[in-house]
Chains A and B, each alone.
Chain A
Amino acid sequence: MRTVDDIAARVRRGEVSAVEVATTTLGDIVDRDGLLCSCTDVLEERALGDARRVDAAVAAGEDPGPLAGVPFAVKNLFEVEGIATRAGSRIELDRGPARVDAAAVARLRRAGAVLVATTNTDEYAHGLTTENTHYGTTRNPHDPERIAGGSSGGSAAAVAAGLVPFTLGSDTNGSVRVPASLCGTFGLKPTFGRVSRAGTVPFVGSLDHVGPFAGTAAGLSSVYDVLVDGGGLPAGAQRAGAAAPARGIDGLRMAVASGHFLRVADEDARAAVEQVAGVLGIDRQLTVAGSDVACAAAHVITAAEGAQRHARTLRSRPRDFDPRVRPGLMAGLLLPAEAYLDARRFRRWYREVAATAFADVDVLITATTPCAAPRIGEEQMTVAGEEHLVGMSLGLLTQPWSLVGFPALSVPARGAGRLPLGVQLVAAPGRDAVLLRVAAALEEAGVLATTPVAHR
C-alpha cells in the first residue's frame, strides 16, 4: 500500500485509476484481514461507485479533490449511508441502515477519498483493547497474539497492516492514540471540537473526539486539512497540515513531561521518549501537577456519562450488551452524583494548571502508552514494578489530555524490541498544526518506525 499523498498525486495525474486502487484495496482486505479482524464491513459497491466518480472527474479535467482515489476505512461508530452502524454492539443494529454519512465521512468523500470498509471497536468504544464478544478481537499486525489496543483498534491495525493508508477513529480516553502506539502508526486526537462528531455514536459527550490514523506524518496532515477545513480559509491559503513540513520546528519550545508521565512508563517507553527528545534537542523536563488525579477524574466522568447514555437499554435488554462492557456500565449507573460533580470540578482546575504549563512551552512529549502491546486476554500488566489492570492502565498517559481537550499526536517510535511504541506530542488547544510540524520533522529525521507490516 502506498501513502495518502502518493496515491492522490498519481490518481490526479491519471497514472493510475481510482478504480484500480479501490479494486486492489478491496482484494487485499478480503485476502489478508481474516486473522487480523480489523474490518467489520467491506463496502465494495460503494467504493467502486465513488472511485468511478473520481476517475470521471479526472477524465473531464475537473478537480477530483486533494484526496483523489485514496482508500480509507472508518471505525464502525461513524454513520455510513446505507449500512447499519454497529458501534461494536448488537443493539445498535436494530436502528437499521444510516440515511446519511457522518460529517467527517462526507467531508472526506467530497475531497475524493474512497471509503472501502468499516473497522472493529470495543462495544460502544468502551475499552482500550478491541476485544469484542460480538465481532471478534482485532489482532496486532506486529504480533497476532497481542492486542491492537482500542477502542479504535481496527482502524489502527488496518493502517499498520498496510490495508489502507488512512482511517478514522474516535478518542475518549486515548482510543486513537493507544492503538496508534501499540500498532506503530501515526494517530491524532485534535483539539476538542475541532473535528465534527456529527453522525457518530456517542460514548462520553464531554470527552469524545474524532481523529485520523495514517502511515505517514504527511498523510496525517493531508487528512487533517480536509477534516477541519470548513471553507473558512481564503482561496489559495496554505492549510495548517500541508504547511507543516515546510515550517519546520525551529523556535518551538519543547519539554519532556515528568512526574506522573515518567512514573507510569516502563523502561522501553521511557527509552523511546529519550530517543525522540534527543532528536528534537530537548534538554528540559516539566511537571504538570495533578496529572495522576486527572486519570481518576477521567474514569469517573467516563463511567457516569457513558452509563447514562445507555441507561434505558441497560434496564430493558441488559443481556444484549457485551459481557466485557456491561459490568462497568452498570457500575456507572450506580455512581453517586457527587463523584461526577467532583470530577468535573477537578477538570476545570486541571485545565487551568495545564494551560499555565503551556504558557512556557509549545510542545510536551510523553510516552503514549506505559508499555508495548499486552497479550490478548491478559487482564493484568506490570508497569514499573506494579501490577495494573490492562483495561484501566493503557490510557494512563493519554487520559489527562483528552480530559481537558488539548490536541495530542502519537508518533511511531522504535521500541527496544520488535513491538512498536508510540511517543505522544501534546500542545495547547488550537495548536494542532504545531504537532503536525513536529511529527513531520521526526519522520524526516528517520527516527520513526512506519513500515506497514505484511501480515497474512
Chain B
Amino acid sequence: MNGQDPTAGSWVAAAAQRSGIAIPDGELHRVAEHLVLLLTLAATVKDALPEPAPVYPP
C-alpha cells in the first residue's frame, strides 16, 4: 500500500469519512503517504518490543 495506490486512497478516504474528517481535494495521497509511513514505523516498534512481563511489575 502506498500513497499512489488507489486502493490505499480508497481505504484512507473511507476511514476519514467514518471519523468525520473532510480531507481537502488533492490531499488524499499525502494523507495516505503519511499514514503508510506511520504504520511502517509502528511495525518497526512492534518488532522491537520485548516480550511483555507475565505479571504486573512490582
Contacts and interface: CB of A to CB of B under 8 A. Distances in A.
Interface of A: 290, 293, 296-297, 299-300, 303, 314-315, 318-319, 323, 326-328, 330-336, 338-339, 342-343, 345-346, 349, 392
Contacts of A297: 41, 45
B21 A331 contact: no
A290 B16 contact: no
4 tightest Cβ-Cβ pairs between the two chains A and B: A331-B34, A339-B42, A327-B30, A296-B41
Given A293-B44, A343-B42, A349 B50 contact: yes
Nearest to B28: A327
Query: Binding site of A, secondary structure by majority: helix, strand, loop or mixed?
Result: helix
6 contacts: A303-B34, A315-B22, A318-B22, A318-B23, A330-B16, A332-B38
Contacts of A314: 21
B35 A331 contact: yes
Interface of B: 12, 15-16, 19-24, 27, 30-35, 37-39, 41-42, 44-46, 48-50, 52
Task: Name the residue in A318, A319, A334 with the highest tally of chain B Cβ atoms < 10 Å from its Cβ.
Answer: A334
Query: Binding site of B, secondary structure by majority: helix, strand, loop or mixed?
Result: helix
Contact of A331 (B38, B48, B49, B50): B38
Contacts of A299: 38, 41
Task: Name the residue in B15, B21, B33 with the highest tally of chain A Cβ atoms < 10 Å from its Cβ.
Answer: B21
A346 B49 contact: yes
B15 A293 contact: no
B35 A296 contact: no
Nearest to A345: B49
Given A290-B48, A327-B31, A346-B45, A303 B38 contact: yes
Contact of B21 (A300, A315, A323, A346): A315
